[in-house]
Amino acid sequence: METITWHDFEKVELRVGTVLEAIDFPEARKPAFKVRVDFGEFGVRWSSAQITKHYTKEELVGRQIVGVVNFPKKQIANFMSEFLVTGFADENGDIVLTAVEKPVPNGSKLI
């Protein structure tokens, strides 16, 4: 594992946002949803998320998630992802979302 400095960590904008919409993404190589998330002052952004094993589109709406909002946009199939959805792989490699325990304002930074 590579060691980083506190200054390096401070560069990563890990922000909380609320999922406004989740739709199927059939063009993705691996099963995924497109999610639209409100990051408060950082705007509403779209991303692709390979989270179809543990979540339905309906249960994602209204849920707060954690995303990295200062990576450059990334093209995934015919779609531009505007932030990175964060999560952890379970024992099968399926993603479990990083989330907050209690509601916090959209755009709040992980500190």
Sign of the alpha-carbon dihedral angle for 92, 53, 98, 81:
positive
Neighbours of 51 (CB within 10 A): 21
Q: What pLDDT sits at residue 5? A: 95
As given in the structure block, the two tokens for residue 100 are 């907050």
Domain ranges of the chain: 12-97
As given in the structure block, the two tokens for residue 10 are 């401070």
pLDDT bucket at 4, cuts 50 / 70 / 90: very high
Q: What pLDDT sits at residue 22? A: 98
pTM equals: 0.94
| CATH no. of 12-97 | 2.40.50.140
pLDDT in tens, 25-77: 999 999 999 999 999 999 999 999 999 999 999 999 999 999 999 999 999 99
What is the Cα–Cα distance from 30 to 51, expressed in whole angstroms? 10
As given in the structure block, the two tokens for residue 89 are 């792989």
Q: Are residues 32 and 51 in contact, defined by beta-carbon separation less than 8 angstroms?
A: yes
